Amino acid sequence: MAELLKVDNVSMVFGGLRAVSNLSMHIDEGELIGLIGPNGAGKTTAFNMITGVYTPTEGKVYFNGQQSSGKKSYQVTQMGMARTFQNIRLFSELSVIDNVKIAYNMHVTYNLADAIVRDGKYLSEEEFITQKALDLLKIFHLEEEAHEVAKNLPYGKQRRLEIARALATEPKLLLLDEPAAGMNPQETKELMEMIRWIRKEFNLSILLIEHDMGLVMGVCERIYVLEYGMKIAEGTPDEIKQNARVIEAYLGEEVIN
């Protein structure tokens, strides 16, 4: 498999605090990878460096063979990365379908003048992305709420909408930041199946931050573990479950089936 993402010895320093220190990792095309560790370990900071929210203080990030670190978040998205957030970030006052259409708009070719006069090019492209948005909402069982205001959706459906919006950018790599946060066991089980299905159906790679170890061990092929901003282990789920340092730093005596 070809290497899709390469994180090359990156560090992030805020003042005198090293939030992430000398992190290296890679993701190949089609892989489903986990990033775990205690609260404050630097996981979300790593996500932010990968997706262009932060520029690493040291080191570089490469995506699909090109340097992505130093680019703006929207430029990284255009390269083929999409993410969700630990705290759901929807356009809460807009409709469900408009949340998805906004993501598709990065692919339109009409300009401002076309939109103002609502010419044929504008109307045909708007019809096209509306249909694509509806098709995506059907996949996530949200078509009946297409014209509902996003903030009125129950929590689990808001999570699904956020993932649908990320997929509307047509990414090669999807980064999920604690997608199971706030979900009950049944919702988490459904999420696990959805993540597997998304990877296969959309032919993409996935990087997952998650505290639910049943979910992580159930879907991830390889796992990276952070503690105090440093990588302390990497390996398969079985290797991570048996790693003494990971058990001491994060898993405790928890038995993961």
DSSP assignment string, 115-169: HHHT-HHHHHHHHHHHHHHHHHHHHTT-GGGTTSBGGGS-HHHHHHHHHHHHHTT
Which pLDDT belongs to residue 256? Answer: 44
pLDDT, average across residues 26-51: 93
Residue 230: which residues within 8 A CB-CB, separation 6 or more?
20, 21, 22, 23, 42
User: Is residue 96 pLDDT above 90, yes or no?
Assistant: yes
**CATH fold for domain 1-80+171-257:** Rossmann fold (3.40.50)
- The proportion of the chain whose per-residue pLDDT surpasses 70, expressed as a percent, equals 90
Q: What is the pLDDT of residue 185?
A: 84
Residue extents of the structural domains in the chain:
1-80+171-257, 91-168
pLDDT of residue 191: 84
The per-residue pLDDT of the chain, averaged, comes to 87
Closest listed residue to residue 32, CA positions, set 198, 180, 166: 198
Q: How confident is the model at residue 25 (pLDDT cuts 50, 70, 90)?
A: very high
pLDDT at residue 139 greater than cutoff 50: yes
Confidence bin at 255 (pLDDT 50/70/90): very low
